[in-house]
Amino acid sequence: MAAAPAPAVLPETGIRPASGAMIWSALAVVYVVWGSTYLAIRIVVDAQIPPMLGMSARFLVAAVLLAAFLALRSGVRRLRVSRRELLGSAVVGLLLLAFGNGTVAVAEQTVPSGLAALLVAAVPLWLMLLRVGGGERPRSLTWLGVLIGFAGAALLSLSGGDTSAKPISVAILVLGTISWAVGSRFSPRLGLPKDPLVATLYEMAIGGAAMVLIGVLRGEPGRLHLGAVDTSGWIALAYLVAFGSLLAYSAYSYLLANAPISLIGTYAYVNPVVAVFLGWLILDEHVTTKILLGGAVVVLGVALVVSAERRRAL
């Protein structure tokens, strides 16, 4: 039965329906910009900005700017959401931002930015295991990719002797990747606002507020001395607000609403390459043979998983 033609724009939002060009443009943004945010986060924490408070500022400022933009463009009515939509946005904001992105910042106090990106590259593998828990039956190639990917992640986790990374920081980062995978997997089922930008706004606002509370519980306000923060820290934080949050996170929210999760997971191919290169180039991070080998194994595992799932979808 033929489907009815899609409207030119979504009612009351001005947003056009998803197209291949829009999806791949959003993927390109996530590929490159998110790869660079690992470097920016490391600069922020190195500049003596406490991680949770720094990331909360990143998302709260971005949420205020996005809310002002949407209200000026389409009116305050566009920001209205139902109780269910607000609850769904809160869950995603907590899982992806407070417990996902926030843990990356905490971990990067000792974990080099390139290594952090390589460990986060295991997110598609966690996504696959969540699908198995939901009763799906992956192909043999998918299982091979999972085993290879986790072997690479284990190798990276054991590379602490060659880097400044502390085992507890690596463990925190792994837990953060699991939280991110859970939020990404179940976000389409949570009844989020149909407008991806509105969903992004509430996720950033609630996730940012939660990070303020976590930062207070960690005693971060006592370690924040604004006068001691150098210019590079403020520039990196501004970059995270404008590009990492307003641009890249909005693109990711759009993808979660419009693209298959197996395709979205391909950002894990590019992010580590960008992060490792920038960390080496700008911060002079030491790239060991073990890190290169572990990273290559992780990317190979992710590539097998995504390749198998894309073939299955055809």
Q: How far apart are alpha carbons 198 and 14 in whole angstroms?
A: 12
Q: How far apart are alpha carbons 79 and 184 in whole angstroms?
A: 23
Q: Which two tokens stand for residue 313?
A: 């979808």
Q: Report the amino acid identity of residue 212.
A: V
User: What was the pLDDT predicted at 59?
Assistant: 95
Cβ–Cβ under 8 Å, residues 132 and 282: no
Q: Report the amino acid identity of residue 266.
A: T
Q: How far apart are alpha carbons 147 and 150 in whole angstroms?
A: 5
149 SS3 class: helix
User: What was the pLDDT predicted at 277?
Assistant: 79
Q: Report the amino acid identity of residue 209.
A: A
Q: Which two tokens stand for residue 192?
A: 């989020």
Q: Which two tokens stand for residue 190?
A: 């949570």
Q: Which two tokens stand for residue 308?
A: 């198998």
Per-residue pLDDT of the chain (314 residues; tens, 9 = 90+): 333 333 334 444 444 555 677 888 888 888 889 889 988 999 999 998 999 999 999 999 999 999 999 999 999 999 999 999 999 999 999 999 999 999 999 999 888 887 788 788 778 778 778 877 877 777 788 778 777 877 776 676 565 444 566 788 888 998 999 998 898 888 878 888 988 889 999 999 999 999 999 999 999 998 888 888 889 999 999 999 999 889 988 888 888 778 776 677 767 667 777 777 788 888 777 777 777 787 788 778 777 776 776 665 55
Q: Which two tokens stand for residue 7?
A: 């409207």
Cα–Cα nearest to 184, from 78, 272, 65, 265: 265
Residue corresponding to tokens 């920016």 = 40
Cβ–Cβ under 8 Å, residues 92 and 183: yes
Q: How far apart are alpha carbons 271 and 31 in whole angstroms?
A: 6
Give the helix/strand (H/E) hosting 114. Answer: helix 113-120
User: What was the pLDDT predicted at 238?
Assistant: 95
Q: How far apart are alpha carbons 55 and 251 in whole angstroms?
A: 18
Q: Which two tokens stand for residue 27?
A: 């993927």
Q: How far apart are alpha carbons 143 and 125 in whole angstroms?
A: 9
Cβ of 193: how many Cβ atoms within 10 Å? 25
pTM: 0.77
Task: Establish how many alpha carbons lie within 13 A of residue 9's alpha carbon, considering only the half-sphere containing its beta carbon.
Answer: 5
Cβ–Cβ under 8 Å, residues 104 and 116: yes
Q: Report the amino acid identity of residue 55.
A: M
Q: Report the amino acid identity of residue 112.
A: P
Per-domain residue ranges for the chain? 21-224+236-313
